[in-house]
Amino acid sequence: MSGIKICGAGHYAPPKLVSNADLEKIVDTNDEWITSRTGIKTRHHCVEETHSDMCRHAAQTALERAGIKPEEIGVCIVATFSSDFLSPNAASLLQRDLGLLNDTVCFDINAACSGFLFAIHTAECLLAASPRKYGLVLGAEMLSRFINWEDRGTCVLFGDAAGAAVVEWNEEYESLGAVLHCEGDSEMLGVTGSGHKAPPQIFMQGQQVFKFAVNAVPSCMDQALTRSGKTIDDVDFFVFHQANTRIIDLAVRKYHIPEEKYYKNIEKYGNTSAASIPMVLSELTELGKVGPGSRVMLVGFGGGRAWGAALAEFK
């Protein structure tokens, strides 16, 4: 038996708030339409901040809360598709900014909204072979740079933010039991790339995404519980990717999850893709809703199509 535990978490969102009322001035929409369909009231957008700035702030907070020094980190992974450069990657820039040792394994993972799940599982595997048993795992996105302001179905959804978690590997810890899936899809949800003449833009087939998510979420939750030998009652808190409040509510009703065991911050931040799960982890620690020994189920789904779930414990 070997695995990781979460030692600390942090997050950062830029100060600029974009409200539903702000969006009414630039696109054909209104607060009632946005709120009833998504649960979003505001989102944060970068002005002068860079992607690297957000990563650094979130990571520093996570390290401070964990009581871990940069030189103790053996693995640094950033889940993102919106970093400042195609190369160097965001994790390498974070290595520079934090002063991580230069033999720290640093790279990015692109699995869109499920990216943090893929990254934390990858860190679990790599730390088993690392001489330093602490890892730094982030989800960070600057989605405002990809917004199509003429598409009211997507421009109201996305925000900029970063979330980070410090994890520790130990041969006596339980495995995450991660269940990860991918079905390549370039039409349902994504960001256009260099093969298109126009600048990169977010695209989404909203109804298809909703149908996919309401099936994928319970399926991967069941698989993760089976793999870990746990039941719903063994989970202290459920951390869902914050894409749409209705998707979360459907999962809550299906599993009869009590209100005190799940959390939604989509109203404040919108969909922050890979950042959303670690941001929830950070806010839960700030609110005192989780602590040492707390077992949380992490559930992600989104572009790719990629989805999955894992069970993590706080140290």
Burial group, residue 97, by CB count within 10 angstroms (0-12, 13-18, 19+): middle
Which residue is listed with tokens 């942090």?
A: 10
256 is catalytic: no
Q: Which of 55, 76, 113, 155 is catalytic?
A: 113
CA–centroid distance for 231 within its chain = 24
Beta strands in the chain (DSSP E): 3-12, 17-19, 42-44, 73-79, 105-109, 134-142, 160-170, 179-182, 189-191, 202-204, 237-240, 295-302, 306-314
Side chain identity at 130, as an amino acid letter?
S
125 is catalytic: no
3-state secondary structure 35-101: HHHHCCCEEECCCCCCHHHHHHHHHHHHHHHHCCCHHHEEEEEEECCCCCCCCCCHHHHHHHHHCCC
CA–centroid distance for 241 within its chain = 6
Side chain identity at 3, as an amino acid letter?
G
CA distances from 293 to 121, 130, 289 (A): 19, 24, 12
Q: Which of 45, 241, 244, 265 is catalytic?
A: 241
241 is catalytic: yes
Query: Tokens representing 281?
Result: 């982890």
Q: What whole-number distance in Å separates Cα of residue 173 and Cα of residue 63? A: 20
Q: Are 112 and 302 in contact (CB under 8 A)?
A: yes
Q: What whole-number distance in Å separates Cα of residue 20 and Cα of residue 29? A: 8
C-alpha torsion 263→269→272→274, nearest 10? -40
Catalytic sites, residue numbers:
113, 241, 271
